[in-house]
Amino acid sequence: MERFEIVGGQKLYGEVGISGAKNSVLPLIAASILSEGKTHIRNCPKIYDVEVMTEIIKSLGGKAYFDGNTLILDTADLNGSELPEKLTGQIRASLFTVGPLLTRFGKAAMCLPGGCNIGKRPIDIHVAALREIGVGVTYGEYTTFRRYELEGKRVVLRFPSVGATENLMMASVKSRGITYIVNCAKEPEIIDLQNYLNLIGAKISGAGTDVITVEGVEKLYSAEVEFTPSPDRIEAGTFIFLGAACGGELEFSVPSLRNSLFIAKIVGNNACKIIQKDDKIYILKFIRPKKGFGKIVTAPYPGFPTDLQPQLVACASVADGMTVVEDSVFPERFGYVKELKKTGADLSVYANACVAVGRKTIAGACMSAADLRGGAAMVIAALAAEGKSIVGGIGHIDRGYDRIDEKLRKIGAKVARIEI
């Protein structure tokens, strides 16, 4: 086991390197099942969830390995459609393989997916959408999916689920006719998936809007392709809140903030000045927040992301004044708050909302992460606190941040990874 030992109170200065988006890379790995060739994913984060997804590809008969920061996937010889329980039980992203397996082999089988404990995360939206286009689903020790004659249809999602949108896109690329996915997710990661699928021969349009159109094709390409996913907007947002909580000056490439500028502007109303140095670099000059952030409600994209809710709360803990953070996506996603309160942070949870009354100082504490983004919030609080903090359970943090301790040290943070 490992933990972080963090000495807070340091302002942060320097250039921040943002990895490819975790939420793009995981469905792209699943989508490579469709290519029957080689896929090179550039700027791929070397995180735990990527490791598990590549092991899933290998378990199905494929190959996966890194060449520097490029992940190479060879899915030409895939020969299986049943996912091993020991892998699917570890990450929710394993569910993304169902759509491409249905398209390639006509069937898929898996146990319930794992992932962070952030409240109820059922798969019923996925199942309902797949059934709409003709997929049979049977529940048992394993959930089994079987493709019959898939017909293009108009499928209305009851909630704009990212995973269900992606699964339906991949399951319908070779359907007869045209599939319309209505009330779909609009995240930048959906656009990445559309662009990759079109690169291998699919005909998909509308990603980023309320309706995605999938025109079925007879076959997909098996050529070798290269793809660069969007920079991770959640990682960028995490560093923005880190800067606001600690003070200092951070540099971001223009592409790395492309999908996170509205987060910088939220902070900019309070705790930072945004300067575009040229067409390549943004400079964010931070001061610790002098007032609260008001009321922020999480919502599907383009709203405030639930994956940045804990980081915002941590930053609000040291912002003079009150901040109210309401989570309309995962109402139970406040399990981390009891750990943040060990620093002396004035936080109160009411149903699906957290009220933060900022303090000028919080103190170092021993905290333990139980989920990915809650763990990131503890790192922010520890870096903003006076004195030394211990953050345990950092395996959760490693699921979504590529060597975050190394990146933090490069900008002046005092963070050590300790084996225990």
**128: CATH:** 3.65.10.10
d(CA 84, CA 28): 20
Range of the domain at 331: 2-19+231-419
- Which of residues 211, 227, 243 is at a domain's end? 227
Q: Are residues 169 and 68 in the same domain?
A: yes
DSSP 3-state of 281: strand
Q: Are residues 215 and 268 in the same domain?
A: no
> Which of the residue ranges 93-97, 302-306, 346-350 would you say has the lowest mean pLDDT?
93-97
> Which of the residue ranges 59-68, 84-93, 385-394 would you say has the lowest mean pLDDT?
84-93
CA-CA distances (angstroms) from residue 44 to 21, 47, 68? 8, 9, 9
d(CA 245, CA 313): 10
- Which of residues 193, 210, 227 is at a domain's end? 227
Count structural domains, the chain: 2
Give residue 280's pLDDT band: very low, low, confident or very high (50, 70, 90): confident
CA-CA distances (angstroms) from residue 336 to 317, 363, 370? 13, 17, 7
Name the average pLDDT for the chain.
93
pLDDT at 114 (0 to 100): 61
Q: Are residues 221 and 81 in the same domain?
A: yes
Instruction: Please state the length of the chain.
Output: 420
Q: Are residues 247 and 383 in the same domain?
A: yes
Q: Are residues 92 and 104 in the same domain?
A: yes
pLDDT of 317 > 50? The answer is: yes
Cα dihedral 111, 115, 121, 123 in deg (nearest 10): -30
Q: Give Cα 240 to chain centroid, integer Å.
A: 16
DSSP lists the bridge partners of residue 4 as: 391, 417
pLDDT of 117 > 60? The answer is: no
pLDDT at 151 (0 to 100): 80
pLDDT at 92 (0 to 100): 83
Q: Are residues 388 and 296 in the same domain?
A: yes
Q: Are residues 205 and 90 in the same domain?
A: yes
DSSP 3-state of 268: helix
Give residue 235's pLDDT band: very low, low, confident or very high (50, 70, 90): very high
pLDDT of 376 > 70? The answer is: yes
In sequence order, what DSSP letters do the residues of 114-161 get, joined into one string? ----SS---SHHHHHHHHHTTEEEE-SSSEEEEE-S-B--EEE-SS--
Q: Are residues 355 and 207 in the same domain?
A: no
Q: Are residues 61 and 15 in the same domain?
A: no
- Neighbouring C-beta atoms of residue 69, cutoff 10 Å: 14
- Which of residues 227, 254, 282 is at a domain's end? 227
pLDDT of 244 > 60? The answer is: yes
Q: Are residues 305 and 380 in the same domain?
A: yes
Q: Are residues 312 and 219 in the same domain?
A: no
Token pair for residue 10? 């340091």
Which tens digits make up the pLDDT trace of 133-173?
999 999 877 889 998 877 889 999 999 999 999 999 999 99
Residues with active-site annotation: 116
What's the order of all strands across the beta sheet hosting 414-419? 366-368, 388-392, 2-7, 414-419
d(CA 65, CA 75): 12
Mean pLDDT to the nearest integer, 334-355? 97
Which tens digits make up the pLDDT trace of 67-93?
999 999 999 999 988 888 888 877 888
Q: Are residues 198 and 296 in the same domain?
A: no
